[in-house]
């Protein structure tokens, strides 16, 4: 079993953007008068930057355990999916430039809640008939190995992956 975490170095710019956005918006809110209607824009932006920073904190606290049986993640919310119960896999690439050479990938794995474990040992975190999902970004060390293992599980489970996922797996050097 391998335990993985997002390195703080890969989250540093996310923290910087979130905190800088909050500070700038709060300074604007404090230094202007409240009867100005434009201030409501900055209230909204402050809330958005706060949510962004909280998601970065959630990533910082998250951990992933990968084994031959499945994948488990923890942090604010604990989820686990056994490879034999994998029901859906999606691998998406989000470019950050027009050349599409820079960007990140997100791997989303899903299983029916009756098949996987979610929050405190209850199927699906207590949601009847729901799905359990695990989402991993490519800045996690070992991301390509997890994607390879998930692709293998998808083949074993006879899942049909969409064309975008197949192309992104090929870009990682994995056959779909």
For the cut 90, the answer to whether the pLDDT of residue 62 exceeds it is yes
Tokens 């040992």 found at: 121
**Two tokens, residue 39:** 């201030």
* Domain end call among 33, 61, 89: 61
- pLDDT at residue 37 tops 90: no
131-137, strands of its sheet edge to edge: 88-95, 103-112, 131-137
User: Which structural domain, as residue segments, surrounds residue 111?
Assistant: 65-172
Answer yes or no: do 46 and 90 share one domain. no
73 located within any domain:
yes
pTM above 0.95, yes or no: no
- What are the phi and psi torsion angles at 175 (to 5°)? -85, 140
* Mean pLDDT, range 75-88, rounded to an integer: 91
pLDDT digits (tens, 9 = 90+) for 119-130: 444 333 444 457
Which two tokens mark 31?
């230094």
Confidence of residue 113 (pLDDT cuts 50, 70, 90): low
Where do the H-state alpha helices sit in 32-162?
39-61, 143-156
Examine the domain organization and report whether 90 and 22 are in the same domain: no
Average pLDDT, the chain: 87
* Rounded average pLDDT over 73-99: 90
Residues 57 and 85 in one domain: no
Whole-number pLDDT of residue 122: 37
Averaged pLDDT, 103-128: 64
Q: Are residues 133 and 73 in the same domain?
A: yes
Q: Predicted confidence band at 131 (pLDDT cuts at 50, 70, 90)? A: confident
């Amino acid at each position: 079993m391998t335990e993985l975490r997002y390195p703080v170095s890969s989250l540093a710019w996310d923290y910087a953007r979130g905190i800088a956005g909050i500070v700038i918006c709060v300074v604007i809110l404090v230094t202007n008068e409240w009867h100005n209607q434009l201030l409501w824009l900055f209230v909204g932006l402050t809330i958005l930057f706060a949510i962004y920073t909280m998601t970065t904190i959630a990533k910082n606290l998250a951990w992933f355990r990968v084994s031959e049986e499945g994948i488990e993640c923890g942090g604010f919310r604990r989820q686990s999916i056994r490879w034999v119960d994998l029901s859906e896999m999606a691998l998406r690439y989000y470019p950050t430039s027009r050349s599409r050479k820079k960007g990140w990938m997100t791997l989303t794995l899903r299983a029916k809640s009756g098949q996987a474990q979610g929050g405190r040992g209850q199927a699906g975190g207590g949601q009847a008939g729901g799905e359990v999902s695990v989402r991993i970004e490519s800045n996690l060390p070992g991301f390509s190995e997890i994607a390879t293992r998930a692709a293998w599980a998808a083949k074993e489970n006879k899942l049909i992956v969409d064309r975008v996922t197949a192309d992104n797996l090929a870009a990682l050097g994995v056959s779909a």
